[in-house]
Structure 1
Amino acid sequence: MKVLHVITGLAAGGAEQQLRSLLPHLRASCEVAVLTGHGALAEAIERAGVPVHHVGMRGNRDVRAVGRLARLMRGRRYDVVHTHLYRACVYGRLAARLANVPAIVATEHSIGHRHIEGRRLTRPVRALYLASERLGHRTVAVSPSVVERLAAWGVPRRRMVVIPNGLDGAAYRFDAGLRRSARERLGLAEDAFVVGGVGRLEPVKRFDRLVAAMPSLGRATLLLVGSGTCEARLRDQARALGVDRRVVFAGESLDVRALLSAMDVLVAPSAEETFGLAVVEALASGLPVLYDSCPAVDDLPPGSAPGARRVPPHLLAAELSALAASPPARLAPPDAVRFYDVRRQAEQLESLYLRLLGASPTEKER
């Protein structure tokens, strides 16, 4: 079975990291097509032996990318095309149809109530998404919350299947040596209380709430891992509050394990999440987690993630102050980490591919 994964870009975001983690566990022969940019993740995927095809898309309206993708798909004769992220889903599903690919799958990673991948959900955005969804055979929702949001748009439930994101828990396990080396590299004191945030620095992630909490946290340090359009604004906010020396911007990083090891608590202040992979990664590292929205935790039975707590935004500073005053010991990875094992995710996806390839055209269109 030959599978092409089509993704918008390969910056170190959640969906992109998820694809990189998944590829080694798929038994199918996989390749990747990236619409825009290159990035460290593309290089890491190539080093692992997975071919990466660069489509060279020059913006949202570069329709020639559809032709380039379709030629790639026809020439390489893929059995399955699996798209990830909004632009890749729109262009990739159309190209796969033009290339007569037998099975077309899309994973919906980033749909919120008002935004999709930080893009406002206007009528044209929604209409284009729904039109392209009909070109595929199945849409993979990373949580039941995604199913409900897409169903409210009008996507038929029979065309959706829930396959949660996965991770290799051992790859995020706490390491005291990595903690020391990461703190030294970042200029963090060994005894500093480090509040962490991991994700795209975009408005929907609401990392400004973390910066706003810093004046009440004494000597604590905020470590933000990621990049995005809000970085300059967050730096200005830290400077205006007089805490800029206690806010560290680590940028994009492939070494998430070391950075999680350097933290004492992870905070996920976003009000709109489709899954919450950073929360599960932090739990695998033994960190306590404070979050506002996390289907990965909320969709599980109570007690599956005892280290994670929902905290309303107005209580965030007080909760962090209490943790800073009495830093908790590292926790054992909870049941949630084992439930979201990447091997299980890979098995479920490959079963879906095989079902679609064995189904009649009529069955796939239902």
Structure 2
Amino acid sequence: MRPACHVISGLRTGGAETMLVALCGGLLARGMPQHVVSLTGDGPNAAALERLGVTVHRLAPRGAAGSAVALLRLARLIRSLRPAVVQGWLYHGDLFAAGAHRLAGAPRDALLAWGLRNSDIDHARYGRLLAIGRRLSGWPGLVVSNSRAGVDFHLAEGYRPRRLAVIPNGIDTVRFRPDPAARAALRRELGLSDEAVVAIHAARLDPMKDHATLLAAAACRPEVHFLLAGEGTLGLDLPANARALGRRDDLWRIQAAGDIAVSSSAFGEGFSNAVAEGMAAGLVPVATSVGDAGAILGGLGCLVPPRDPAALAEALRAMATLPAPARRAAGLAARARIETAYGVGAMAERFLAAWIAAGAVIGGGGPRTGGGE
């Protein structure tokens, strides 16, 4: 089977990077070799990919001249690997994949695909990339979005792809699961009792995640303990019932210690991994109605308007005051929904089907030469 070559801006611990690792694992299990090109060098998920058997190529361009060199190196890699598909991830990865695909001669048997991972965005920060993507959106043979909200946003912004596919994220329900031993151990570490109601907020510090609304709601709910896991959270000014854990590479363990999975995002989310992973771990979800959150919850838990601390606080109160057996039952129903609708295997199969439908030739061929860049 011919390989897939993924191009992504970096391999830190964000949602897109986590999904890339999951997808590569699912595709490897189906016999398809995987190569990942990182445009910012290493990150925690580089090691995770290599443990799976994925070849990671690190380009890390610096400045305009460095970007040009990196683009040429990526084009050479595409010619060498002869992949079935060159799959971009995030705006930078999409644009580098498109440019290198063209420089490589736009091989007809190597499908160019883009990956959209967000819905509405901050135009002040990403407007230039969005404008370039809009102009080039007819280049790829396929554009994959992880949410319907992401498709609607980009079409409204002027994207005109030849073919679209919506493929929701796949959640590792073996890793993210109810785990009484991990729950008890982490609670002991943090000095939390078995009876404490704990809400988990897993998100880096970023305006789109709206920590301000979360903390305002938390201050209104002193009976709930909040654990904030994410890069940048250690510098936050927190109410007495909240604790920042900083960046964590063991989110499955953090989620297992909780009762409620909360997302306070104000904009930009496509498919929230944090909500879905929390649900897989048996937590009841409380989320703002951003991106495809409503589809993920499927009528479970509480969905509230964004940027509304009072509504978020009331939803947290409703979940926290459920009797413990009822809350556990609601969490198990949430897990069952993720297992049924959002497994890793289903995501891998959907990617393969979308690539093939767009013209990728998956079988036969292979790289002319091996080795990383």
Amino acid at match of 2:246: G
Query: Are residue 112 (structure 1) and residue 106 (structure 2) matched?
Result: no
Q: 1:67 to 1:186 in 2, by over 3 A?
A: farther
Higher relative contact order (CA 8 A, sep 6+): 2
Look up the match of 1:350. 352
Q: Are residues 1:204 and 2:208 paired?
A: yes
CA contact (8 A) 2:8 2:39 kept: yes
Shift in Å at residue 352 of structure 1? 2.3
Structure 2: gaps spanning 5 or more residues: 363-373
Number of the residue aligned with 2:134 = 130
Tell me the equivalent position of 2:40: 36
Worse overlay, 59-68 or 175-184: 59-68
| Contact 2:169–2:271 under 8 Å retained in 1 | yes
Is residue 2:166 matched to residue 1:172? no
Output the CA distance in 1 between the equivalents of 2:157 and 2:113.
Answer: 19
Compute the RMSD of aligned alpha carbons. Answer: 2.5
Match for 1:159 among 159, 163, 166? 163
CA drift of 1:341 comes to 1.8
CA–CA separation in structure 2 for the residues paired with 1:305 and 1:5: 34
Number of the residue aligned with 1:222:
226
Unmatched runs of 5 consecutive residues or more in structure 1 = 360-366
The answer as to 2:278 corresponding to 1:282 is yes
Select the residue among 294, 304, 323 that pairs with 1:298.
294
**C-alpha distance 211-346 of structure 1, shift in aligned 2 (>3 A):** same
1:186-235 CA distance string (max 9 Å, x none)? 4444443322111221011101212223333225332111114x753xx2
For residues 9-42 of structure 1, what are the alpha-carbon distances to aligned partners after superposition, in whole Å with 9 as ceiling and x for unaligned? 1111111111111111112111111110312211
Contact 1:260 1:285 in 2 (8 A): yes
Q: Which amino acid aligns with 1:198?
A: A
- The answer as to whether partners of 1:264 and 1:327 remain within 8 angstroms in 2 is no
Deviation, structure 1 residue 327: 5.8
Show CA shifts across 1:310-364 (max 9, x none): 35623222332444455643221243441112211111111222232259xxxxx
- Counterpart of 1:362 in structure 2 is none
State the SS of the aligned residue for 2:196. Answer: coil
2:7 maps to amino acid: V
Structure 1 residue 52 and structure 2 residue 56: aligned?
yes
Q: Secondary structure at the match of 1:270?
A: coil
Identity of aligned residues (%): 32
Instruction: Name the TM-score, length of structure 2 as normaliser.
Output: 0.84
Per-residue deviation, residues 212-263 of structure 1 (Å, max 9, x unmatched)? 23333225332111114x753xx2x32xxx53xx432223333222111111
Residue 310 (1) aligns with residue 304 (2)? yes
2:8 is aligned with 1:7: yes
Would the alpha carbon gap of residues 195 and 49 (structure 1) be closer, same or farther in structure 2, given more than 3 Å must change?
Answer: same
Residue deviations 1:102-128 (CA, integer Å, cap 9, x gap): 21111100231545xxx6343x33221
Partner AA of 1:193 in structure 2: V
Q: Report which stretch shifted further, 271-280 or 304-313.
A: 304-313
Check the 8 A contact 1:36/1:54 in 2, yes or no: yes
SS in structure 1 at match of 2:151: helix
Does 1:19 pair with 2:23?
Answer: no
Q: CA deviation at 1:51?
A: 1.1
Deviates more, 1:162-171 or 1:303-312: 303-312
Q: How does 1:224-243 map to 2 (within 5 A)?
A: 224-228=228-232, 232=235, 235=236, 237-238=237-238, 243=240
Return closer, same or farther for 1:308/1:50 CA change in 2, 3 Å cut-off: farther
Q: For each residue in 1:115-171, what CA deviation from the matched residue of structure 2 results, as whole angstroms up to 9, or x when unmatched?
A: 5xxx6343x332211234333211101122112111112222642111221123232
Taking structure 1 as the reference length, the TM-score comes to 0.85
Q: How many residues are paired up?
A: 344
Tell me which residue corresponds to 1:250. Answer: 245
**In the alignment, does 2:89 pair up with 1:84?**
yes
Cα 1:186–1:53 change in 2 (3 A) is farther
